[in-house]
Structure 1
């Protein structure tokens, strides 16, 4: 998902006053806007709106952006433009916005005349426009930079990815198969508040729908999935044909339900599957491959974690569901794992990903096919969403690295050891004080800055520990 470029509109603001003073200025500055778009071609696909001189122009261009299903809007002051002409527009706008505080020429020279002053006077237009957005209480990002500098492209790229993720998040539907785990408090959320404040919608799917779906899967699709797994993974010879077919049917049936009902993320709670009475085993391997295909996932009915994994896909690519299992003080790290679900795209590249038959007492069902791998060593980032009550949400983020630690042969599920950049003690003190829940999304690489921009655009409190 993160490999697809964001689609961003450029809203260039000027005013008709300068057309009389400097003939041709609108065309000149429109060319400047197109030059900016060309300069940023590697970080996003751009739609440059016609220069905006008044309220009607601005509303017309913004309608074009909305109708084109763009991910966000980059505001560029082509000259000074009075903010009252766009104040209502930004009050009603729901697309993520970034105010690019830039100008055509990076430095003032003795050769400048009044025309040069006018071409480059966007700074006070940016102040007027930013003031209007602050008064409207609308979140937005700001980038002050020389537009030709690599740093500008880097920062715009980060904002554009966050805009794409936030825009997708606002229309996300999360399907919970059955119900959430009883008495698990940190995964609970007011569904209406989540929908109103951030956008993700939670729906519930009867386990019976999944059971009927498994019976409707054609044999050729089952055979195709098993053949694909044989080619890509190291298959445990202890797995029987019946176990693999059962797993394949559940995976295909889950994905069909997600597609048919428009769910971009989901959760299956082991008790809801086990207590149904018709299933032979849990769909653990299904969760791993569906995550690798770009679906969000959260265990035990955790819709917020599923939404976060989806956001991790959209923002950074290859979101991975995990949780903190235990602290290892000698290595200053935390053992990360879960019951068996994990995105195998974050696996080490020097070891095969295995599909194994494993013993699992949880769920009181037969042995589930499970992907086994170790996390890839290197930089990594954890993030989780905290519901603070009402429409208040917090994102807790920790950067660190996955260690090249020794194997743990008895663990039959995805795992790795994460060393926080701030150290286990400081990280966990901060995590707990912030109310960070026990399910997280992990992405390889250091991405706290990306999550920070995501929070700014979504209206979420950001805490890094």
Structure 2
């Protein structure tokens, strides 16, 4: 994101004369500078121009569309700007945009206010005129209301910019599939052409033979350097003097280096594999997959390309935020006094979701392929998080999000050989599981402790995809009615 920016364009017109337009420009520059200084935006604003004619507006919108450094546009109407001027421009704009409904001054100067002041500061009805044309054109956009120095407006801007970061990633993402989906599983299937049309990302299949060539080409010197790195970053549960353990760890280093080189060459920032198709590999990648996710790659097990893409998109949104994002699965329940879910997977949970130093161990993997495989073992950091899944309903996609409270397990789980997260789902296990199943939620999800629900809501609007939220206020009666309405 270091080369990206958000354009800021201010609407006005020539009716008020050059003096007013100069002031509109100056005030816009003050706002942009002030927001960049105080709003803690993950991508900076760039004041692009004021827009006063249909031709200017269309040119600016086309420039934004074709400028790769622009990931979104903020529009503000300083004065009244007749909205028919905006039709061609907004129809041409192919970047997400938001409407900042603000005013340069926070308070009215009661003693000195006159018609010159009124004509200059017309956001109150200039933005309403602009708002009408957005609705009339049926364009999804985000709106925030308040003075530009208000912390609540800053928070809205932060959320929207992060969603725009995710949308930019979505539009440019490539997902590599090593092997197909797990046989007989329905929810990990889907229409890849529809996904590319809806979200922008591409999904490509690659034969395992090509990946094996990359892994076999990794030098012994590179492998040994990688093993040294493992020893410095993790707590080893075994001795490197154990030749069999060392061999297994070197195999994992070979997989990690080979996969990363392959993904880099193919310009893919997300990938899938499946334990049912590992021909030529030393086993199902465990530590290798976990480390690639920690570096920012998306991942989905058993060929789940939709979750792999979403993990990467959430990672792109979360740059600079505390917490992490991981591939996740609802594995088993604790049906005690307070219902909880123990989330895990066979091997592949990202260490970005913990603050602890992971334990690196080599243990038997018994599903699909029986091999001793290196993996990181840890417990997810306690605190609020979200599980987000993407499903293909045939005629449309749906996002389902459950807000959860991740907790520290009450005991040490000494015999569980995989990384895990224990959470209490909102509003409770009975309601959340019921709602998740009603909505058709998958058993795989993208788990994030860093990206707020508000950002995901904005991203869903950018993608024009239904988002079903299960939170502390959810009731099954209302949730059922919401699902019925969404199907119309």
TM-score with structure 1 setting the length: 0.94
Unaligned runs of 5+ in 1: none
Contact 2:360 2:374 in 1 (8 A): yes
Corresponding residue number in structure 1 for 2:397: 393
In the alignment, structure 1 residue 287 sits paired with structure 2 residue 289:
yes
Whole-angstrom CA distance in 2 between matches of 1:252 and 1:445: 27
Contact 1:104 1:119 in 2 (8 A): no
Whole-angstrom CA distance in 2 between matches of 1:464 and 1:316: 20
> Could you say what secondary structure the match of 1:322 adopts?
strand
Deviates more, 1:239-248 or 1:50-59: 239-248
Whole-angstrom CA distance in 2 between matches of 1:261 and 1:137: 37
In the alignment, structure 1 residue 323 sits paired with structure 2 residue 325:
no
Residues 88-118 of structure 1, C-alpha deviations (whole Å, 9 max, x = no match): 2111211111001111122334331112112
Corresponding residue number in structure 1 for 2:262: 257
Whole-angstrom CA distance in 1 between matches of 2:120 and 2:185: 59
Residues 42-92 of structure 1, C-alpha deviations (whole Å, 9 max, x = no match): 213121112111122123323443324211100111211111112121112
Corresponding residue number in structure 2 for 1:300: 302
Q: CA deviation at 1:123?
A: 3.0
CA shift in 2, pair 1:428/1:255, >3 Å:
same
Q: CA deviation at 1:225?
A: 1.5
Q: CA deviation at 1:266?
A: 0.4
How many equivalent pairs are there? 454
In the alignment, structure 1 residue 363 sits paired with structure 2 residue 382:
no
Corresponding residue number in structure 1 for 2:118: 117
Corresponding residue number in structure 2 for 1:134: 135
Counterpart mapping for 1:205-284 below 5 A: 205-237=206-238, 240-273=245-278, 276=279, 278-284=280-286
Contact 2:173 2:200 in 1 (8 A): yes
Q: CA deviation at 1:6?
A: 6.0
Corresponding residue number in structure 2 for 1:89: 89
Deviates more, 1:330-339 or 1:297-306: 330-339
Corresponding residue number in structure 2 for 1:403: 407
Whole-angstrom CA distance in 1 between matches of 2:444 and 2:195: 17
Corresponding residue number in structure 2 for 1:74: 74
Whole-angstrom CA distance in 1 between matches of 2:287 and 2:438: 34
Corresponding residue number in structure 2 for 1:437: 442
Corresponding residue number in structure 1 for 2:456: 451
Q: CA deviation at 1:446?
A: 7.1
Contact 1:378 1:445 in 2 (8 A): no
Whole-angstrom CA distance in 2 between matches of 1:222 and 1:86: 58
CA shift in 2, pair 1:171/1:5, >3 Å:
closer
Residues 130-188 of structure 1, C-alpha deviations (whole Å, 9 max, x = no match): 22222333211011111111111111011011011112112211111011111111111
CA shift in 2, pair 1:49/1:297, >3 Å:
same
> Could you say what secondary structure the match of 2:232 adopts?
helix
Corresponding residue number in structure 2 for 1:49: 48
Whole-angstrom CA distance in 2 between matches of 1:77 and 1:376: 44
CA shift in 2, pair 1:429/1:17, >3 Å:
same
Corresponding residue number in structure 1 for 2:484: none
Deviates more, 1:309-318 or 1:147-156: 309-318
Whole-angstrom CA distance in 2 between matches of 1:301 and 1:6: 32
Whole-angstrom CA distance in 2 between matches of 1:196 and 1:216: 36
Whole-angstrom CA distance in 2 between matches of 1:152 and 1:173: 34
Q: CA deviation at 1:347?
A: 1.7
Unaligned runs of 5+ in 2: 471-488
Deviates more, 1:218-227 or 1:4-13: 4-13
Contact 2:314 2:451 in 1 (8 A): no
Corresponding residue number in structure 2 for 1:201: 202
Contact 1:72 1:95 in 2 (8 A): yes
Whole-angstrom CA distance in 2 between matches of 1:386 and 1:130: 32
Residues 434-457 of structure 1, C-alpha deviations (whole Å, 9 max, x = no match): 111111111115721121111111
Deviates more, 1:219-228 or 1:285-294: 219-228
Q: CA deviation at 1:222?
A: 1.6
Whole-angstrom CA distance in 2 between matches of 1:421 and 1:332: 10
Contact 1:381 1:448 in 2 (8 A): yes
Residues 354-383 of structure 1, C-alpha deviations (whole Å, 9 max, x = no match): 111111112324211111111111111111
Residues 224-263 of structure 1, C-alpha deviations (whole Å, 9 max, x = no match): 2211111000123266222112111111111111111111
Contact 2:284 2:369 in 1 (8 A): no
> Runs (4+) of structure 1 moved beyond 6 Å?
none
Whole-angstrom CA distance in 2 between matches of 1:452 and 1:37: 25
